Structure 1
Amino acid sequence: MKKNYDTLLLDADDTLLDFSRTEKNALDLTFSRYGLKLTDEIRDIYHTVNHGLWAAFERGEISKETVTSTRFSRLFAETGYAVDGIAFARDYQLALGEGYYLIDGARELCEKLAGKYRLYCVTNGVAATQHSRLAGSGLNEYFSGIFVSETIGHQKPSRDYFRAVFNAIGRFSPEKAMIVGDSLTSDIAGGKNTGIDTCWYNPSGKTAEPALTADYEIRRLDELPPILEGE
């Protein structure tokens, strides 16, 4: 049965913006600026540290500031580099803000949806970085609002984050809304927690846990419009 959606909440990183590419380039650039060798082993250690911190942030156990200010200090403690982790983190964050790479089909999707639905970007992360990347990519022009966890004061998947978003949007009907994102633990869990439909962008064909099964699943962004139109 076709549902009459009028509001779409779109995740940013690895849904519309290619964060994986941005992160790689930012790491390469910042390590190079500091004259440090970035091996595959060090990159893997960083990903382990970083993912662990962001997972704790999603669970509400630590602040975003703890994530961004300590991840490189922890990395350098493990790798033996005598570098100021806080200064490095600041420079890395600036490099991240310059990453405007798009996921295939992201611009075309936003162009197609903007005239039919109210589009909002919902993203965890650093506000200045996310706004810079969305502006640099040109995607910001398609959104009626951009909600970054740092500004909201809460993070996906918490109900407090989504309540703040719903209240800010106004005239919001949960039964007419859908969230689209690549993260089961923040996007899909957040949607399920707050009673809106969910669409999992899953380009690599991962398997979801039963408790986090989305209402819809797509491998490519161009598969979303037919779902919205009930085709």
Structure 2
Amino acid sequence: MTYSTILFDVDDTLLNFEASEKQALEKLFKTIHQPLTPAVYRDYHDLNAQLWHRYERGEISRETLLNSRFNLFFAHYGQNIDGKLYGQKYRTFLSEGHDQIPQAQTLLNDIRPNHQLYVITNGIAATQQRRLKESGLVNYFDDVFISERIGHKKPDSAFFEAVADQIQGFTKQSALVVGDSLTSDILGAKHFGIDSVWFNPHHLPNASQTKPTYEIDHLLSLEAIVS
């Protein structure tokens, strides 16, 4: 199969979201003069992941996710805080984090001459744009598609329809989605009828019914698939 259009997820595919998340939480907890222990970090990480999965399934809105997650988190510890304010501070700190996944820039540099490259992300627009710019990766892409601006989210087919409509000459047969999330990237690609690559560097088991076309554990392995 020849793939000319590559649609990349951002978080934990090209940029290390976990590192950015932890750095942002450390900065937030420093401003509120509370310790961020490993256990507290794990609690937040798990809660946040659960909320994002609920958002992907359409069970909660983006606004609910962003404005309520810190209320829910601190309520677990018996604290009543301004969750919206904490969320705004956290997103500012999060936008400052842009550590790359190993070999991300090398991959993009290698395949850019012969492919159209695009970003597809459910992240917050201002946060993702700053992270991509400051990471040095944004110039490799022909366009950046963000759910907040599209009006639909991964894995909804409407998101991919909107992306396809904005790419000149787009065909499903020549497009490939690359991402780390089975419930967002890979499921979305399956629903829309395009091939996918599951980036799974930690060799996590796939207990879902969603099967990627390909699976890789190192970004440079993508070159053999798209060349």
Distance 1:60 1:136 in 2: 31
- Conserved 8 A contact 1:64-1:125: no
Helix, strand or coil for the counterpart of 2:63? Answer: helix
Partner of 1:192: 190
Query: Offset of 1:210 from its aligned partner?
Result: 5.6
- How many residues get paired? 227
Partner of 1:10: 8
Unpaired runs of 5+ residues, structure 2, are none
After TM superposition, the score normalised by the length of structure 1 is: 0.95
Query: Offset of 1:42 from its aligned partner?
Result: 2.0
Does residue 67 in structure 1 map to residue 76 in structure 2?
no
Does residue 57 in structure 1 map to residue 81 in structure 2?
no
1:84 to 67, 82, 85: 82
Partner of 1:37: 35
Query: Offset of 1:82 from its aligned partner?
Result: 4.1
Instruction: Out of 10-19 and 55-64, give the one that drifted further.
Output: 55-64
Over residues 45-96 of structure 1, what are the superposed CA-to-partner deviations in whole Å (9 max), with x where a residue is unaligned?
2123211211110001211111111100111111123432211110000000
Report percent identity of matched pairs: 43
Q: How does 1:90-109 map to 2 (within 5 A)?
A: 90-109=88-107
Helix, strand or coil for the counterpart of 1:147? Answer: strand
Q: How does 1:136-215 map to 2 (within 5 A)?
A: 136-209=134-207, 211-215=209-213
Partner of 1:224: 222
Alignment-mate amino acid for residue 191 of structure 1: A
RMSD between superposed Cα atoms in Å: 1.1
Distance 2:3 2:120 in 1: 17
Helix, strand or coil for the counterpart of 1:211? Answer: coil
Alignment-mate amino acid for residue 16 of structure 1: L
Query: Offset of 1:118 from its aligned partner?
Result: 0.3
Partner of 2:124: 126
Distance 2:26 2:158 in 1: 36
